[in-house]
Each structure stands twice: as structure tokens, then as C-alpha cells.
């Protein structure tokens, strides 16, 4: 059966990735027939209408799913298509209550024109009442118009579809988790829409354990918990998780959404000094937005020159359990952090578990930061959110079973000298920060 998915016209490069991940979660056989980032409509093929309902029900970027009744470049062609495709089961809708709506993308009609279009479907033998509120069935005429159709005076759309509403998505959840309504946030808290989309692409769900090693105020574990997963997290700065305590804390955020039962725990640690054993494959998913090191240089626990400060090491051993103890930190390479994230994921993800993390890069090809690779991780999809001079990418991998990992690729990977995590300055260690403050700034001044 063929269906129409109506997407929100936002975060276009994420839409298909989310739907394909949901198809895997719901175990439905999805075929993409037609899709474009320039259109809010996607034509798909699924075995049943029930599969379409399951596919759409937890989507954030989709709005609704519709059974495709017809398509055509003109209204006459649409009617011919409807008659050819659906006349065999018109009798099933003879007595139902119904309504027709028109959804015009980049175009517009007057009320009289809309009514006139709807009246052209009077050949359908529907004898039930027309109900504008809560009808049994809703039929939508979707129109795709050229860009700037209204100011250019274009009178007709380029493509028309008729669809029967099958199900609606969870897009309204974005409002529920809006950061403006959240009790505790920081300047780096990920917005609710992209947190939920990340959780979907990472395939969070009931019975799964999801972990964020840069948890901050908890945006990602909250999104994963909403979809049924058990959320865990850690952060190098325990203050970001504790907040002021009570409602003004990470745990308070979980309680605000009645998700406290789905919070495993959080703890203070950094990725390179984690208490999580590297030889235990425990996580079904790892989702995170690592620090970009723009405001401050990236740091990890440790000393840059431990041989020059042995007294500080001894002080740490004696006072590590003190609530007032602040562990020393050393500079950390941005590229080393990316490699460490992948190495940690490869060591701790279950087979086919997903890693989804955000990574910034310049829009200039000369400054673009490579997508990191690891022999045990298969790249699934790269989604891009563009800003002015830079972008950030949501990069998603799947953990390959050990039997599918190339022994040759693994040997080559182990032979490569790892990126140094220590440097002279924060700019030496962070190419994105260097570009952000130097080349990006010079471009702004030129304009």
C-alpha cells in the first residue's frame, strides 16, 4: 500500500533519517518511493495501514500519515487516478462521517476556490454526514506549488495528491518538553525538538539503556526516557547535574516530566577517566552533544606535566573523597575527543547499538572537520543543521558485531598514532575553535 507522510518543513536533512530509524524500531518494511528536502510530502510503501500508524506515532519531524488515494499534475488527472486506485473500496465509506480539507504548500486559494475544488469529488458515493469536528474519516487534497507562487501570480499547482488520514505523530511533544518551560537548563541545553529527534534516530525505546557522557542538565536522557529507555549520564562538572538541588537540578527535570523512574543514575567523570569498564558491552545507545571548546578550551581530568607537580598528585590521593576537592584538569584535543568517543562506544555498545553525537564544523570546505571513523562502528547517517558560517552534524553509527569487524581495518586502526590530547594552547588543540574565532570573524568584518 502507498502512503503520504506529511513532514514539518524544518530540519529537512533529519526527516528521512528519523523515519528510517522508526521503521527499524517498529519492524515495518518501509520503501521510500519519492522524497525531496524541498517538499513536505514523502511517498512511501508499507504492507498495511496499521504499519503506517505504527511508523508515524512517535515521529517528531513528521506531522501525519495518509493513505494515498490518487495523484496527478492537474485536478482532472487526480480524479482519474482516484477512480483507478480506489473505486473498489468506495462502498466501505458509504455511511461514514467525513470531511475534506486542502493543504497547499507555497500556494493559496480563496475560500470559494477551496469549496469548488472539494465539490469536484462529488462522484465519491459518500452518503454519511459531513462533520468538521471529529469525523470518522478525513480526506486531504495536498497541493505542491512552485516557489513564490502567490507574489508571482501562479494560478495552478504542479502536483496534487488525495490522501485519507491514517494517523498523527508525536510532534506536539516538542511543546511539552520546551526548554522555556523546563525547571533547570543551562546555555548549552539542547532544544527539545532536536533532543527528541536524536533519541529517535538512536532508536531509544523500552528495555534499553542509554547513556550521555556529557549529560549537563539532562536533555538527551530525558528524551530517551520519554520513549521508554532508562537514561544514564555523566559529566566532568558535577555542578551542572546537581544545580541548586530539588527542582533546579537534572533529577528535578526528570521529576518535572514524571520520568524519575526511568533515570538510572548520573555521576561525575570524564570520558577518558570513566568508572565504566571498557570490556563490558552494556549500552544500547550513546547520545551526546560534546563540548565544542569555543568559550573555554576543552579539558579532561589530569595534569599536563605530572612529573613537575608530584605534590599535587599526593594531595589528590589524600583529599579525593572530600566534598570540597576540585580535581586538576589538563588541556584536551578536540580531535582526540572525537576519537575517544568512538573508542568508548566501540567498547561499551551492544551489537547493533547506536552512537549518535553532535559535532560542529565550518561551512567552508577548507575548514571542514572530517567525520571520525572506527572499524567497529558502521556509519548510518549524517544529518546537518546549518547556521551562518558553521554547521553542526548529528553523526550516527551502529556497533558492528565482532564477527563483522574487518581484522585488517582493526589492525590498521591500532597502528595509527592517536591524536595527542595535550598541546600548547586551546587553539592548537581545537581546529573548530581556531576557525570560529579567526576565519569566521574575519569574514564577518569583510562584510
pLDDT tens for residues 129-187?
Answer: 999 999 999 999 999 999 999 888 898 999 999 999 999 999 999 999 999 999 999 99
Angstrom distances, CA of residue 406 to CA of 225, 377, 381, 397: 34, 11, 20, 16
pTM, entire model: 0.90
**How many other C-beta atoms lie within 10 A of the C-beta of residue 414?**
9
- Is residue 442 scored above 60 in pLDDT? no
pLDDT at 434: 59
Q: Please answer whether residues 22 and 57 qualify as being in contact, where contact means their C-beta atoms are separated by less than 8 angstroms.
A: no
In the CATH scheme, what architecture does the domain 2-169 have?
2-Layer Sandwich (3.30)
The fraction of the chain above a pLDDT of 90, given in percent, is 72
- Is residue 431 scored above 60 in pLDDT? no
Q: What is the CATH number of domain 174-298+333-437?
A: 3.40.50.150
**Angle formed at CA 22 by CA 21 and CA 27, multiple of 5 degrees:** 100
Decide: helix, strand or coil at residue 277.
coil
Give CA–CA dist 351/354, Å, rounded: 9
Confidence band for 439, pLDDT divided at 50, 70 and 90: low
Confidence band for 446, pLDDT divided at 50, 70 and 90: very low
Listing from the earlier edge strand, what are the strands of the sheet with 209-212? 263-268, 230-235, 209-212, 283-288, 349-362, 390-399, 377-386
Backbone φ, ψ for residue 283 (5° rounding): -90, 135
Q: What is the mean pLDDT of the chain?
A: 90
pLDDT at 241: 95
The three state secondary structure string of 87-126 is: HHHHHHHCCCCEEEEEEEECCCCCHHHHHHHHHCCCCCCC
Confidence band for 95, pLDDT divided at 50, 70 and 90: very high
Q: Please answer whether residues 391 and 358 qualify as being in contact, where contact means their C-beta atoms are separated by less than 8 angstroms.
A: no
Confidence band for 330, pLDDT divided at 50, 70 and 90: confident
Strand bridging mode 377-386 / 230-235: unpaired
Give CA–CA dist 241/378, Å, rounded: 32
The fraction of the chain above a pLDDT of 70, given in percent, is 91
Q: Please answer whether residues 10 and 70 qualify as being in contact, where contact means their C-beta atoms are separated by less than 8 angstroms.
A: no
Residues with Cβ within 8 Å of residue 102, at least 6 apart in sequence:
109, 114, 117, 118, 140, 141, 143
List residues bridging with 355 in a β-sheet.
Answer: 286, 397
Q: Please answer whether residues 211 and 225 qualify as being in contact, where contact means their C-beta atoms are separated by less than 8 angstroms.
A: no
**44-75: string of b/e by CB count within 10 Å (b at 16+)?**
bebeeeebbbbbbebbbbbbbbbbbbbbbeeb
Q: Helices marked H in 272-416 — which ranges?
A: 310-319, 334-348, 407-415
Confidence band for 416, pLDDT divided at 50, 70 and 90: confident
Average pLDDT over residues 394-421: 86
Burial class (CB in 10 A: 0-12, 13-18, 19+), 154: middle
Angstrom distances, CA of residue 81 to CA of 47, 61, 161: 21, 29, 9
- Range(s) within the chain of domains with CATH label 3.30.2130.30: 2-169
- Range(s) within the chain of domains with CATH label 3.40.50.150: 174-298+333-437
Q: Please answer whether residues 392 and 358 qualify as being in contact, where contact means their C-beta atoms are separated by less than 8 angstroms.
A: yes
**E strands within 306-447?**
329-331, 349-362, 377-386, 390-399
Q: Please answer whether residues 174 and 150 qualify as being in contact, where contact means their C-beta atoms are separated by less than 8 angstroms.
A: no
Residues with Cβ within 8 Å of residue 327, at least 6 apart in sequence:
301, 316, 320
Q: What single DSSP character describes residue 232?
A: E
Q: Helices marked H in 227-333 — which ranges?
A: 238-242, 250-256, 310-319
Confidence band for 106, pLDDT divided at 50, 70 and 90: very high
**Angle formed at CA 285 by CA 220 and CA 43, multiple of 5 degrees:** 85
- Is residue 421 scored above 60 in pLDDT? no
pLDDT in tens, 4-29: 999 999 999 999 999 999 999 999 99
Give CA–CA dist 185/105, Å, rounded: 36
Backbone φ, ψ for residue 349 (5° rounding): -80, 145
Q: What single DSSP character describes residue 158?
A: S
pLDDT in tens, 199-254: 999 999 999 999 999 999 999 999 999 999 999 999 998 899 999 999 999 999 99
- Is residue 447 scored above 60 in pLDDT? no
pLDDT at 320: 74
Total residues belonging to the chain: 447
pLDDT at 292: 76
Q: Please answer whether residues 294 and 433 qualify as being in contact, where contact means their C-beta atoms are separated by less than 8 angstroms.
A: yes
Amino acid at each position: 500500500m502507498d502512503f503520504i507522510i506529511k513532514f514539518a518543513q524544518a530540519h529537512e536533512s533529519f526527516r528521512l533519517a528519523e523515519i528510517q530509524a522508526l521503521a527499524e524500531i517498529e519492524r515495518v518494511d518501509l520503501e521510500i518511493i519519492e522524497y525531496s528536502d524541498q517538499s513536505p510530502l514523502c511517498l512511501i510503501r508499507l504492507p498495511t495501514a496499521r504499519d503506517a500508524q505504527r511508523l508515524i506515532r512517535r515521529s517528531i519531524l513528521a506531522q501525519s500519515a495518509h493513505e494515498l488515494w490518487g495523484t496527478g499534475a492537474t485536478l482532472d488527472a487526480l480524479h482519474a487516478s482516484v477512480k483507478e486506485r480506489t473505486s473498489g473500496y468506495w462502498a466501505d465509506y458509504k455511511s461514514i462521517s467525513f470531511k475534506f480539507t486542502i493543504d497547499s504548500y507555497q500556494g493559496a486559494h480563496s475560500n470559494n476556490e477551496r469549496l469548488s475544488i472539494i465539490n469536484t469529488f462529488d462522484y465519491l458515493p459518500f452518503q454519511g454526514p459531513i462533520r468538521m469536528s471529529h469525523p470518522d474519516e478525513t480526506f486531504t487534497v495536498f497541493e505542491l506549488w512552485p516557489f513564490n507562487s502567490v507574489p508571482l501570480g501562479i494560478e495552478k499547482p504542479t502536483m496534487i495528491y488525495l490522501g485519507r488520514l491514517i494517523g498523527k505523530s508525536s510532534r506536539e511533544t516538542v511543546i511539552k518538553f520546551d526548554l522555556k518551560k523546563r525547571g533547570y537548563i543551562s546555555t548549552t541545553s539542547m532544544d527539545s525538538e532536536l533532543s527528541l529527534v536524536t533519541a529517535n534516530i538512536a532508536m531509544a525505546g523500552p528495555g534499553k539503556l542509554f547513556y550521555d557522557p556529557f549529560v549537563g542538565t539532562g536533555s538527551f536522557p530525558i528524551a530517551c526516557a520519554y520513549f521508554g529507555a532508562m537514561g544514564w549520564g555523566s559529566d566532568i562538572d558535577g555542578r551542572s547535574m546537581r544545580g541548586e538541588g530539588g527542582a533546579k537540578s537534572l533529577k528535578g527535570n526528570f521529576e518535572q516530566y514524571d520520568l524519575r523512574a526511568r533515570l538510572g543514575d548520573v555521576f561525575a567523570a570524564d570520558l577518558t577517566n570513566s568508572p565504566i569498564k571498557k570490556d563490558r558491552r552494556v549500552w544500547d545507545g550513546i547520545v551526546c552533544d560534546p563540548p565544542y571548546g569555543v568559550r573555554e578550551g576543552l579539558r579532561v581530568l589530569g595534569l599536563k606535566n605530572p612529573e613537575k607537580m608530584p605534590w599535587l598528585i599526593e594531595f589528590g590521593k589524600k583529599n579525593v573523597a572530600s566534598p570540597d576537592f576540585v580535581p586538576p584538569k589538563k588541556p584536551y584535543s578536540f580531535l582526540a575527543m572525537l576519537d575517544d568517543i568512538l573508542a568508548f562506544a566501540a567498547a561499551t555498545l551492544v551489537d547493533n547499538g547506536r552512537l549518535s553525537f553532535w559535532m560542529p564544523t565550518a561551512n567552508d570546505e577548507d575548514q571542514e572537520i572530517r567525520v571520525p571513523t572506527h572499524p567497529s562502528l558502521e556509519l548510518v547517517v549524517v544529518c546537518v543543521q546549518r547556521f551562518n558560517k558553521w554547521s553542526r552534524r548529528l553523526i550516527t553509527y551502529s556497533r558492528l558485531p565482532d564477527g563483522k569487524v574487518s581484522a585488517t581495518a582493526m589492525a590498521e586502526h591500532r597502528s595509527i598514532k592517536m591524536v595527542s590530547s595535550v598541546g600548547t594552547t586551546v587553539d592548537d588543540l581545537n581546529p573548530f575553535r581556531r576557525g570560529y574565532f579567526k576565519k569566521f570573524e574575519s569574514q564577518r568584518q569583510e562584510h
